[in-house]
Structure 1
Amino acid sequence: MEPFDPPFLSFYNKLFDNHFIDEPCVKCNEIEALHECEFELPLIDLSRLKEDGLRSEACQREIAEAAQEWGFFEVVNHGVPLELLEEMRCEQVKAFKKPFHQKVNGLHDLDFLAGNYRWGTPSATCLRQLAWSEAFHVPLTDMSTMGGVNTFSTMTKQYAKIVSKLAEKLAEILAEKLGREPGFFKEKCVPTIS
């Protein structure tokens, strides 16, 4: 039977061996100090953008303030259909259940080329820094090359199109509220999806 998960133990064996050495990890101590603080990310209800007047203006101001203070924020009522999100989640589960060698070498049935798959915590220098991560990175600029007629390709393209429109809207708001020229962020970071 083929392994589905990456070779976690063999890849990080040195970190496991060094785990029992009494030498403290300075970077880990710094991370632990951060973990003692609780952070609550800004949560912004984007449904207010559709309203006129003060509620829309307040929402736009919150977006700009969160971007300036935190660099990111969480959104709800963003307009991405829940059905699409659930279908995407199901398709993602199927992709990650594929055998490891297929994920690394490319999932041709899903139009993922070799090199799109990432896993683990490559920068970890001690066990405390390990965080499980597994991802397929498909740049938006590569969406048009996903030519398959499978559910995953179709869902991914549909999702990317909707999320790109949302990103464009947020980029417009940020440009205006942060005193930049219209289109400043859009031109720099929002690719067009066809």
Structure 2
Amino acid sequence: MKKNKGGDRVRRMGFIEDERGISNVIGAALLVVAVVLGVGALMSAMQSMTDVPEVPRAQFDISDHPDSVTAANANGFIVRHLGGDRINYNDLLLVVYDSNGNKIYSKIVSDAASANEVTQDQVSGAPYDTNFFEGGEQIIAAASILDPNNDGTPDAGTYEIALYYKPTMSVLVDRNVMIS
């Protein structure tokens, strides 16, 4: 190569090129920075798309209702909210299993209330909202949902009763209850 008076500049085909090199370390560092920024932007975008709701923190109790399940218009069991976060009735799934583990009932609580299969026994007053299951309130289930034989007659026995938080399908409470 022909050196000119300008030092490291070489004239080729009418263009002047600078042959002074850039360190490979600087190039590698710039590439690493670009990759890290790209991955950070991608992770930020993905995290904003996957907004998973938190499971409410609350305590519940499930017990047999004092009514006999064979009585006319009887109630079967009671789910009590003992305190904690309030939960929208549209987000609660009530599931009942018979003693063999077979699912005999499954419905969103707000839909079950519309079908008169459960009663939302709510506390009234200014701070309470009828769309939410809050501390001090209870869900009273009709005995008619305790019909494992589908013969139209509710049966006494042991049932597994579970309440799920529908957005995450997390179990809020799951109890075996002897219904009489």
* TM norm. shorter chain > 0.5: no
Bigger strand share: 2
Bigger helix share: 1
Q: TM-score range by the shorter chain?
A: under 0.3
TM-score if structure 1 supplies the norm length? 0.20
